[in-house]
């Protein structure tokens, strides 16, 4: 199929959203040169979610872009109710697009009497009526297996690595803040052609971690710590401190999802970090904005828009990353 015909098939595509990140959705629609779908996602007086789609969607290929970021429960409920609405309105296909997949951290029973919320959310999305999932930098890639519908898993890696590539990287090292992040950090290391180091992080609870030693040579080098998300900021700040103790020079951070809850912004402001590059999968909250020049927001709208176009026109998504 040539490019002209591919673009023509986009006529039947429609993109809708709730309230979790309307600015990102506008940027995605700008990339695709289509308007944001016309829907009202409001509240009844008692706080229940009130959805009304204000245009015909019968037979359309629907993409609902809604990161399930804070307020997490509202974002998730809006998504589920939107999916239900489009199912009942006879759309042809519904793709739930979660640039950030919340509730992902509980992905296994690592102790007795705990839920697996990542699986519960997968069940809810599927049961509500989604036909496909498009998401980005899942906390654990195996969450894809919690779905029995097709899942496309994007990486923000091209956006963040392009940003850092513009610096003089001759004396840099890429750092994974824990062993779980080695695979993605290695991707940066290979792509940017710089060495890799790993921080030995131990987790003792949802907000409690400790770091011991660093594997790899960081002394006298600038470091880029790569992580999927910053929540309390504990992992990144501890990694930055231990790198400094081991003689690292300037410390940079690349993290996809800027959740930045609680006192995260304050911690990051006081940590020995020169710059933090995050993406717009989640809007920055007011505390995060107070970091000013220290935080740089990169957009993933083109990546998402391109992936949506490819899903709609049955083109490969993985080839978007192969040449990286």
Taking a C-beta distance cutoff of 8 angstroms, is the pair 237, 227 a contact? no
Nearer to ligand R5P, 53 or 278 (CB): 278
- With CB under 6 A as the contact rule, which of the stretches 37-45, 114-122, 178-186, 245-253 interacts with ligand R5P? 178-186
Nearer to ligand R5P, 180 or 283 (CB): 180
Nearer to ligand R5P, 257 or 310 (CB): 257
**Window 201 to 220, contacts with ligand R5P (CB under 6 A):** 209
Integer Cα distance of 310 and 320 in angstroms: 10
Instruction: Write the CA distances from 268 to 46, 196, 248, integer angstroms.
Output: 37, 23, 17
234 binds ligand R5P (CB under 6 A): yes
The question of whether 201 is a catalytic residue gets the answer: yes
Q: Which of 106, 127, 167, 201 is catalytic?
A: 201
Q: Residue 77: CB partners within 8 Å, gap ≥ 6? A: 49
Q: How far is the CB of 204 from ligand R5P (least distance, A)?
A: 12
**Window 290 to 309, contacts with ligand R5P (CB under 6 A):** none
Comparing CA positions, the residue from 100, 137, 140 lying closest to residue 119 is 140
Among 21, 95, 222, 235, the residue binding ligand R5P under the rule CB under 6 A is 235
The per-residue DSSP string of 179-195 comes to GGGHHHHHHHHHHHT-E
Taking a C-beta distance cutoff of 8 angstroms, is the pair 172, 194 a contact? yes
Nearer to ligand R5P, 119 or 203 (CB): 203
227 binds ligand R5P (CB under 6 A): yes
232 binds ligand R5P (CB under 6 A): yes
Comparing CA positions, the residue from 165, 320, 180 lying closest to residue 252 is 165
Q: How far is the CB of 244 from ligand R5P (least distance, A)?
A: 17
Integer Cα distance of 301 and 290 in angstroms: 24
Integer Cα distance of 264 and 310 in angstroms: 36
Beta bridge partners of 295: 276
Among 37, 177, 254, 258, the residue binding ligand R5P under the rule CB under 6 A is 177
279 binds ligand R5P (CB under 6 A): no
Among 80, 229, 276, 308, the residue binding ligand R5P under the rule CB under 6 A is 229
Give the chain's end-to-end CA distance (angstroms, integer). 24
Q: How far is the CB of 50 from ligand R5P (least distance, A)?
A: 33
Integer Cα distance of 169 and 312 in angstroms: 38
102 binds ligand R5P (CB under 6 A): no
Nearer to ligand R5P, 67 or 234 (CB): 234
Q: Which three-class secondary structure state does DSSP give residue 112?
A: coil
Residues at the interface with ligand R5P (CB under 6 A): 177-178, 180-181, 209, 227-235
Q: Which residues are catalytic?
A: 201
């Amino acid at each position: 199929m040539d490019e002209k015909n591919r673009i023509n098939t986009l006529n039947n595509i429609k993109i809708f959203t709730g309230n979790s990140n309307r600015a990102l959705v506008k940027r995605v629609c700008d990339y695709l040169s289509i308007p944001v779908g016309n829907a009202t996602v409001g509240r009844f007086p008692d706080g229940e979610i009130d959805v009304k789609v204000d245009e015909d969607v019968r037979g359309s290929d629907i993409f609902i872009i809604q990161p399930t970021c804070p307020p997490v429960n509202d974002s998730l409920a809006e998504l589920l109710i939107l999916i239900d609405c489009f199912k009942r309105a006879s759309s042809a296909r519904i793709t739930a697009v979660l640039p950030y997949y919340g509730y992902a951290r509980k992905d296994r029973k690592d102790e007795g009497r705990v839920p697996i919320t990542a699986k519960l959310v997968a069940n809810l999305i599927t049961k509500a009526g989604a036909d496909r999932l498009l998401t980005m930098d899942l906390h654990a890639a195996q969450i894809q297996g919690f779905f029995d519908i097709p899942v496309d898993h994007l990486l923000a890696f091209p956006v963040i690595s392009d940003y850092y590539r513009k610096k003089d990287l001759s004396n840099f090292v890429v750092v994974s803040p824990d062993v779980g992040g080695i695979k993605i950090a290695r991707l940066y290391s290979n792509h940017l052609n710089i060495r890799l180091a790993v921080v030995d992080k131990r987790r003792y609870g949802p907000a409690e971690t400790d770091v011991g030693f660093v594997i790899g040579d960081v002394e006298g080098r600038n470091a880029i710590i790569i992580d999927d998300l910053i929540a309390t900021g504990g992992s990144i700040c501890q990694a930055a401190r231990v790198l400094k103790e081991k003689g690292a020079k300037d410390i940079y951070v690349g993290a996809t999802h800027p959740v930045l809850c609680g006192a995260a912004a304050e911690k990051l402001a006081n940590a020995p970090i020169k710059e933090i590059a995050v993406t717009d999968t989640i809007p920055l909250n007011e505390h995060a904005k107070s970091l000013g020049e220290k935080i740089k927001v990169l957009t993933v709208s083109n990546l998402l828009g391109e992936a949506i176009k490819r899903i709609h026109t049955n083109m490969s998504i993985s080839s978007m990353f192969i040449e990286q």
